């Protein structure tokens, strides 16, 4: 299992770095489309019947919508409707989704209602979240380049790694025992501190997420932004754990050998990317 996990992680890292460093944006955009469609399929499986046509049809629709948007946004002369929709997604959907993560998801996690929920309306958050993360990452990459995206992803990865090891070493007080018994407040604090330290340290490197924030906000605000994003990464992780616990499964799927599903890999990034986009836009 460990060998399989390491092999999958290395392959994923190579694919991500190669796409980020590609001379054109198409490889990264294509990967993000596939990631969003796969994660949508997994999310819909958790909140619908788990099998049948709804998850697959929903993922296919997500894939086609994002392909159409990407084709329009990266063409030499995008249609007016495509640019109008881009404005709707960036100016309306992303703020609403960030609000939903901060308020709705956090409330759901700490309310710890693990009873099975499969009402039809629960597919709406899946679509909104996937559209928001895809739009945020694509627009951030278009405007600020690969290093900003990578430094933002590193914030999420470091928060997760630090939370795990801090929790193992010092964890005493359960964070959300009904949702994820292994997570502790001490681990969460370690993750937040690591993410904040990384953001402040990365200010030294031009083009990083921390450097861009520092150009637009005082240092104290940059630190608070890092704390917020780290906290949101924990909420994203816990929210997916809540969905899996409701559905009675350990992983969102088996698409990534040794790692579970795509949703399992991006759960922490789902709220962070739209929130990071919003923070950068607020500082313009």
The pLDDT value recorded for residue 259 is 84
Name the nearest CA neighbour of 133 among 282, 265, 248: 265
The predicted pLDDT at position 68 comes to 94
At 258 the pLDDT is 84
Q: How is residue 67 written in tokens?
A: 């392909």
Q: Are 134 and 33 in contact (CB under 8 A)?
A: yes
Total-model pTM:
0.94
pLDDT at 50: 54
pLDDT tens-digit profile of 181-239? 999 999 999 999 999 999 999 999 999 999 999 999 999 999 999 999 999 999 999 99
DSSP state of 256: B
Judged by phi (left if over 0) then psi (alpha if -120 to 50, else beta), residue 78 lies in beta
- Taking alpha carbons only, the member of 18, 37, 47, 8 closest to residue 244 is 47
The 10 Å Cβ neighbour count of residue 102 is 16
Q: How far apart are CA 249 and CA 185, in angstroms?
A: 24
Q: Which of 224, 242, 223, 244 is nearest to 234 (CA)?
A: 242
The set of residues, in sequence order, having a beta carbon less than 8 Å from that of 253 and lying 6+ positions away, is 38, 41, 42, 45, 260, 261, 262, 263
245 half-sphere exposure, CB direction, 13 A CA radius: 18
- pLDDT value of residue 49: 61
Q: DSSP assignment, residue 23?
A: S
pLDDT at 104: 92
What pLDDT does 122 receive? Answer: 72
DSSP 38: H
- State the DSSP code for 8: H
Q: Decide: helix, strand or coil at residue 176.
A: strand
Q: What is the pLDDT of residue 48?
A: 81
How many helices (H) and strands (E) the chain has is answered by 13, 2
Which pair of structure tokens corresponds to residue 198? 């990384």
Both tokens of 152, joined, read 């933002």
pLDDT of residue 219: 97
Helix axes 146-170, 123-144, angle to 10 degrees: 120
pLDDT given for residue 135 in this prediction: 98
Question: Taking the chain (284 residues) in consecutive chunks of 10 residues, what is each chunk's mean pLDDT?
Answer: 80 92 93 97 84 85 95 87 91 97 93 62 87 98 95 97 96 93 96 98 97 97 98 97 90 89 96 98 86
């Amino acid at each position: 299992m460990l060998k399989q996990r390491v092999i999958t992680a290395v392959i994923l890292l190579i694919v991500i770095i190669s796409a980020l460093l590609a001379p054109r944006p198409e490889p990264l955009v294509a990967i993000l489309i596939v990631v969003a469609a796969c994660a949508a399929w997994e999310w819909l499986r958790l909140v619908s019947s788990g099998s049948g046509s709804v998850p697959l049809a929903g993922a296919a629709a997500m894939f086609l919508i994002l392909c159409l948007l990407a084709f329009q946004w990266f063409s030499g002369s995008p249609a007016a409707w495509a640019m109008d929709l881009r404005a709707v997604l960036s100016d309306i959907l992303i703020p609403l989704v960030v609000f939903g993560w901060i308020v709705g998801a956090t409330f759901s996690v700490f309310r710890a209602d693990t009873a099975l929920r499969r009402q039809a309306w629960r597919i709406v958050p899946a679509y909104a979240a996937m559209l928001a993360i895809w739009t945020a990452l694509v627009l951030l990459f278009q405007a600020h380049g690969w290093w900003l995206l990578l430094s933002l992803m590193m914030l999420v990865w470091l928060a997760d790694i630090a939370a795990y090891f801090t929790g193992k070493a010092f964890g005493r007080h359960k964070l959300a025992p009904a949702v994820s018994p292994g997570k502790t407040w001490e681990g969460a604090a370690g993750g937040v501190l690591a993410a904040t330290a990384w953001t402040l340290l990365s200010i030294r490197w031009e083009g990083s997420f921390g450097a861009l924030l520092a150009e637009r906000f005082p240092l104290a605000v940059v630190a608070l932004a890092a704390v917020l994003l780290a906290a949101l990464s924990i909420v994203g992780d816990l929210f997916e754990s809540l969905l899996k616990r409701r559905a009675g499964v350990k992983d969102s799927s088996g698409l990534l050998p040794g790692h579970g599903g795509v949703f399992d890999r991006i759960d922490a990034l789902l709220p962070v990317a739209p929130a990071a986009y919003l923070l950068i836009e607020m500082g313009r």
